[in-house]
Amino acid sequence: MSSSGTTHHGTGRDQLWSVDEHLDDILATVRPLEPIELQLLDAQGCVLIEDVTVPVSLPPFDNSSMDGYAVRVADVAGASEEFPAVLTVIGDVAAGQGEQPTVGPGEAARIMTGAPLPPGAEAVVPVEWTDGGLGEGPASGMRAHSAAPEGASGEVRVHRPAEARAHVRARGSDVRAGDRALTAGTVLGAPQIALLAAIGRGTVKVRPRPRVVVMSTGSELIQPGEELADGQIYDSNSFALTAAARDAGAIAYRVGAVTDDAEVLRSTIEDQLIRADLLVTTGGVSVGAYDVVKEALDSIGDPDDEEGLGAGGGVEFRKLAMQPGKPQGFGTIGPDHTPLLALPGNPVSSYVSFEIFVRPAVRALMGLPDVHRPTARARIAADKALTSPSGRRQFLRGRYDADAGTVTPVGGSGSHLVAALAHADALIVVPEGSTSVEPGTEVDVVLLG
């Protein structure tokens, strides 16, 4: 923890940490996960940590790019509509067929896209340049898809000449054996996975997706689908943050609401540590009588953290110069120094905190080069000025219009306004120094994607 070395926020208990200081502390603590070998599809979105070399050239053999006839160039030289070359069809070559007929002078083999160019043949004439073998023979014509060499016979009339190698994809024309297919550091999207599969790689070495356990706290919380009793509310945070964790690239586990009991919470956290690369809690971090997260963490601690026990264990609780999201906890717990972020309970606060602090942590664990959401500059589209608390960085919910270059606030600043959050696609960033933002003012917006 770098808290003791940071001077900007002072040392007193009630000093405010800036958003950047808190984020810097998190990113300085969170280390990328150790690489593992994963099946291709499990590696989607992950960072490759090996250079991948092509073992066999692609395509592995010369093959046809068209359905047509494999021919010898001399046999079709000068062919025209009026004077077609008439060739004897000696058989079929289909994709995946091992053995091929040899094309001799005056002969052609019917060939399908992707099939190997048979010996003797020098070019492929597309079926459109021929009579499709319809003129003669019982089984000619491209409608039949028999793979058997005896499936085609008779004659084909070719109306146009072909140059050597016409409609032939050369062996190695895509990549050659020994070429570098992908370099370490590449993020594996669908096209990169396509290449890995095409060169025959079944598994790759990547940094894995972090396993993120999301745990909500609050005795008032019940699960969606249940009947609401007096004083109860539905647990939305654990759903929102599990979805957000997945969206950030994590394998997310949702642990439904834990009651406000430090002992229950402590044992739940300890149970979850086994499957967590990162723990996220919501609620119970303000100064209310039932804010039990600190108390629960006191008794877990981080065995290697000298300040580990007492006052939240390895987790430090801070007040941030931020709205929403003022109370935040961060630190490491348990034998593996698992990072834990304790977020405030209000739904908008927890979501905004996730976007600003947890998402970058998840992406840092994955070793991704870019841990932050993209941002844009946009002018505020509103009827009246927005007010913002002095000395705090405010994150308002907004709708971003890229074409107009504007962002329109949705809902107010209340951190309980889930419906407005659901209509937002951006966070409007009002800097610490601003207490009033006039319509038309240009601001930073975080694009939620």
- Residues lying near ligand AMP in the complex (CB under 6 A) are found at 216, 218, 220-221, 233, 235-238, 282-286, 288, 344-347
Decide whether 168 or 257 has the Cβ nearer to ligand AMP.
Answer: 257
Do residues 365 and 278 lie in contact, with contact meaning Cβ atoms separated by under 8 Å?
yes
Residues 6+ apart with CB under 8 A from 228: 222, 234
What's the token pair of residue 301?
Answer: 């601690």
Going by C-alpha positions, the residue among 293, 311, 309 that lies closest to residue 215 is 293
Radius of gyration of the chain (CA): 32
Gap between the Cα atoms of 84 and 296, Å rounded: 88
Picked from ligand AMP, Mg ion, none, the partner binding residue 282 (CB below 5 to 8 A depending on kind) is: ligand AMP
- Closest contact distance (angstroms) between CB of 327 and ligand AMP is 7
Output DSSP code: residue 445. E
- Closest contact distance (angstroms) between CB of 400 and ligand AMP is 26
Decide whether 283 or 347 has the Cβ nearer to Mg ion.
Answer: 283
> What number of other Cβ atoms are within 10 A of residue 3's Cβ?
16
Decide whether 293 or 333 has the Cβ nearer to ligand AMP.
Answer: 293
- Closest contact distance (angstroms) between CB of 307 and ligand AMP is 24
Span of 148-156, 218-226, 314-322, 327-335 interacting with Mg ion by CB under 5 A:
218-226
- Closest contact distance (angstroms) between CB of 344 and ligand AMP is 5
- Closest contact distance (angstroms) between CB of 270 and Mg ion is 20
By CB under 5 A, name the one of 68, 118, 149, 218 that touches Mg ion: 218
Helix (H) / strand (E) containing 447: strand 442-447
Which stretches of 221-289 are DSSP H helices?
Answer: 237-248, 262-273
What's the token pair of residue 93?
Answer: 């070559």
* CB hemisphere CA count around 341 (13 angstroms): 31
One symbol per residue from 272 to 311: x for binding Mg ion (CB under 5 A), - otherwise; what is it? -----------xx---------------------------
One symbol per residue from 336 to 355: x for binding Mg ion (CB under 5 A), - otherwise; what is it? ---------x----------
Picked from Mg ion, ligand AMP, none, the partner binding residue 233 (CB below 5 to 8 A depending on kind) is: ligand AMP
Helix (H) / strand (E) containing 204: strand 203-206
Binding-site ranges for Mg ion (CB under 5 A): 218, 283-284, 345
